[in-house]
Amino acid sequence: MAETHDRPPEQFTLRMRRYDPESGEAPYWDEHTIELEPHRSVLEGILQARDRFDGSIGIRCSCRQAICGSCGIRVNGEPSLACHTHLDAAKRGARNGVIEIEPMGNMPVLKDLIVDMDAVHWKKIQRVTPWLLAKQPVPEREYLVEKEAMVDVTQSMACIQCGACVSDCLAMEVDPGFIGPAALAKAYRFVGDPRDDQQFERLNDLAQDPQGIFDCTHCFKCVDACPKGVNPMGQIMRLRRIAIGDHHIVDQNNGERHEAAFTTLVKDNGLLWEAELLPRSYGGNSMFGKFAPAAGKELLSSLPAILKAVLRGKVTPMGALKPHKIPKADLKAVQAIYDKVEGREQRYELNLYISGEDEVAGEPIPVAAGAGADGGEQAAAPTSPEGSANQ
Amino acid sequence: MKVAYWPGCVSRGFTPELHGSMAKIAPLLDIELIELDRACCTGAGVIAEHNQELADTLNARTFALAQQVQGAAMMMNICSTCQGAQSECQERLDANAEYREHVNSTLATEGLSYEKGLTNKNFLWLLVEEIGLESLSARVKRPLTNLRVGPFYGCYIVRPRERLGIDQEHPRDHYLDHVIEALGGTVIEYAGMRKCCGFPIITMNKEASLKQAGRHLGDAADAAADCLVTPCPLCHLNLDLQQPLAEKVVGRTLDMPVLHLPQLVGLALGLDPKELGLNRHVVRPTSVIDWSTSVVGAAA
């Protein structure tokens, strides 16, 4: 570490997106060359440009150590904390060596690199009732809960509200009303809290909302954007899992039907049967699903695409009517896996954020004694909906 | 090179031309495909959403079957979504010996066991890292000269970066660009090249889903791309099969052909467009191919 910090100052060129909505002028790009040690942050670079060249550069910052979440921006097109991005790393990822700096996306720009977090991010956080709705009666002293249960929600509690995930959410880009990754991760923080009294109500609300948990496109953008490893998409998937698996919530957005149809079709055939998946997602998870009015309506609206696909021989009537299957003996093996795993009293979940990796690469660790067919079940990391075990 | 080959479901269902074109080009690239015809669907993230252990066990079964293929250098898939779903399960299985043992105890009834450390590469990764761009270029018989190709990566093969092994030495999120160049084509950059096609929410929020597809196709059209190429059959469904519907949502004519990666490679290796199933797309690739002479890029 000492070596890198001893490196002499170098020049870095920052290309900055400037915009002042109140001026009536269009946004434009501005370039400044700053001089700092390579391990210093992009934030320090921006501040130097502001001090030396242009006092009107708008940037919000406070702690300068990746805790307060104030300085979210885009560096070379990727959402980042300005204080958490080294200049040399930013230069390596830059085109032609020029570090490109923009305000975050999906939120209106107030000035230059400052976006309106109130209008988008904080509104969405408020949407999920971000406080504990305590179980009654409230004990005289503190609530007593299992340690594991609280460890489970620490991942979502690690959020510093910087908005990086909101900035690049691809679902929000086309559907601004989507509750979004930060707020839904916050929702999990309370859904997963054993002291909360409203787990079903929270989940039902988020599942029925057309812009709720089933509006996430599963694009992993928020996973990479988060500087704190919160894995918002993972939290959204857990919300879905608990809503459907534990509370059997059937939502109006086809979320539950889609998951049920997908899982059943793979169990029945070993492979996915796409022609059956779509109608079942709308009409219900059985061979009769496609005859339900909702499925018929959907079929009708998709006719222009279906007809062309049939015309080109992409989809053949026989191919659509008959599923692909894996060999019988293998299908039986797959179904046995389904029966065993789904028949457990508790779902097993391994969260690497909490358990970490137990092995250094190339260094095998002996298997726990007695971890046989049944012993293994005790050996693995169990998690109830309320908690995943800390390995 | 011999590989344990996982084609996925959609490449044998709604996009049969993908599996078909892969089979055609494999011998030209000296790839021997040993198909994992006993393996089941990866779950595409949906089974993991339903029950993580179930997805992990089903995929561990596939990995174990792949490890049984004698002489195979690695496992290969032709579907970004399969790659993403499998990588996620493998990450958990490889990270924790107790968990792996637990999953293997379920597989034991079938006499199968997954050993940590399987190499599983999408065809795109294998093409660049195992065959190599120079070797690929040397095999080109019909360079894609003047063909303006927009890469469409799909989410599952570019994020999350760490899980997928994307770093400075392995810029896998740029490999499509490199392949297009190696085949003699011109890379067209556009805003949506690494964004979501919208397929995962097509049944939940159709309008948002088609808006995503329509925007990316429109961005590519504005950048004057002749066609897109994708390593993901699910992206192909939303970008090609659904394109007539996406046009209505975004209110413009798109007319953007979308090729599967093996089809683009096959064209450059001199195969006949029909042999590669290019006549089976909803959006006919007329801007890519002069159908009378099969000359690539003639329309450009």
Q: Output the CA torsion A299→A305→A306→A311 (10° steps).
A: 160
The CA-to-CA distance between both ends of chain A, in Å, stands at 31
pLDDT tens digit string along A208-252?
999 999 999 999 999 999 999 999 999 999 999 999 999 999 999
DSSP assignment letter at B300: -
- Report the half-sphere exposure of A345 (CA within 13 A, side-chain side): 2
Taking CB atoms and an 8 Å cutoff, what residues of chain B touch A337? 54, 57-58, 61, 106-107
Cβ contacts of A272 on chain B, cutoff 8 Å: 9-10, 13, 41, 44
Separation of CA A318 from chain center:
38
pTM: 0.92
Partnered with residue A251 across adjacent β-strands are: none
Alpha carbon of A340: minimum distance to chain B alpha carbons (Å): 8
| Residue range A188-201, pLDDT digits in tens | 999 999 999 999 99
Whether residue B196 and residue A244 make contact (CB cut-off 8 A), yes or no, is: no
Nearest to B155 by CA among B201, B110, B98, B93: B201
Q: Are A80 and A42 in contact (CB under 8 A)?
A: yes
Task: State phi, psi for A166 to the nearest 5 degrees.
Answer: -65, -40
Write out the two tokens for A350.
Answer: 């391994």
CA distances from A94 to A77, A89, A98 (A): 9, 9, 6
Query: What pLDDT, on the 0 to 100 scale, is given for residue B288?
Result: 63
Structure tokens at A81: 């904390």
Following CA atoms A375, A376, A378, A381 in sequence, which dihedral angle do they give, to the nearest 10 degrees?
Answer: 170
CB-CB: which of B9, B96, B200 is closest to A358? B96
Distance between CA atoms of residues A335 and B157, nearest Å: 29
Size of the A and B interface in Cβ pairs below 8 Å = 258
Please return the burial class of A25, using the count of CB atoms within 10 Å of its CB with bins 0-12, 13-18 and 19+: exposed
Output the pLDDT for position A299. 86
Answer yes or no: are the C-beta atoms of A31 and A16 closer than 8 Å. Answer: yes
Q: From the candidates A350, A357, A359, A365, which should be mutated to test the interface with B, based on the most B CB atoms within 10 A?
A: A350
Say yes or no for a CB contact (<8 Å) between A330 and B38: yes
Alpha helices in B109-232 (DSSP H): 123-126, 133-139, 175-182, 206-222
- Min Cα–Cα distance to chain B from A360, Å: 9
| Cross-chain residue pair A274–B61, CB shorter than 8 Å | no
Contacts of B251 (CB under 8 A, 6+ apart): none
pLDDT at A275: 87
A78 interfaces chain B, CB cutoff of 8 Å: no
pLDDT computed for residue A300 by the predictor: 86
Q: Quote the CA–CA distance of B212 and B81 in Å, as a whole number.
A: 17
Dist CA A349 CA A377 (whole Å):
12
**Average pLDDT of each block of 10 consecutive residues along chain B (300 residues)?**
96 92 98 98 96 98 98 97 98 96 97 98 98 98 91 97 96 98 96 97 96 98 96 97 96 96 95 91 78 52
Cβ(A268)–Cβ(B40) under 8 Å?
no
Q: Quick one: chain B helix, strand, coil %, rounded to 5?
A: 45, 10, 40
Looking at the complex, does the CB of residue A3 fall below 8 Å from at least one CB of chain B? no
DSSP B168: S
DSSP structural state of residue B21: H
Contact criterion met (CB < 8 Å) for B160 and A224: yes
**Across the interface, which of B50, B202, B281 has its CB nearest the CB of A259?**
B50
Nearest CA in chain B to A373: B105
Cβ atoms of residues B165 and B202 within 8 Å: no
Whether A92 and B168 lie within 8 Å, measured CB to CB: yes
CA distance A383 to chain B (A): 11
Which residues on neighbouring strands pair with residue A100, listed in sequence order? A15
**Where does A255-374 have alpha helices with state H?**
255-269, 274-283, 293-301, 303-311, 317-321, 328-342, 352-355
Asked if residue A219 lies in contact with residue B155, where contact means CB atoms within 8 angstroms, the answer is: yes
Per-residue pLDDT at B299: 44
Which residues make beta-bridge pairs with B290? B295
Q: Decide if B203 and A237 are in contact by the 8 Å CB cutoff.
A: no
**Residue to substitute from A206, A318, A348, interface B, most B β-carbons within 10 A:** A348
Non-local (6+) Cβ contacts of B17 within 8 A are A314, B260, B263, B276, B277, B278, B280, B281
Residue A242's nearest CA partner among A386, A344, A382 is A386
pLDDT of residue A375: 34
Q: Please name the member of B10, B94, B201 whose beta carbon is closest to the beta carbon of A217.
A: B201
Q: Which residue ranges in chain A fall short of pLDDT 50?
A: 1-2, 362-391
Give the three-class secondary structure for A348. strand
CB A31, CB A18: distance < 8 Å: no
Whether omega for the bond prior to residue A137 falls within 30 degrees of 0, making it cis, is yes
Pick the closest to residue B87 from B162, B193, B10, B23 (CA basis). Answer: B162
Q: Considering only CB atoms, which chain A residues are within 8 Å of B102?
A: 348, 371, 376-377, 379-380
Q: Which two tokens stand for residue B89?
A: 């399960």
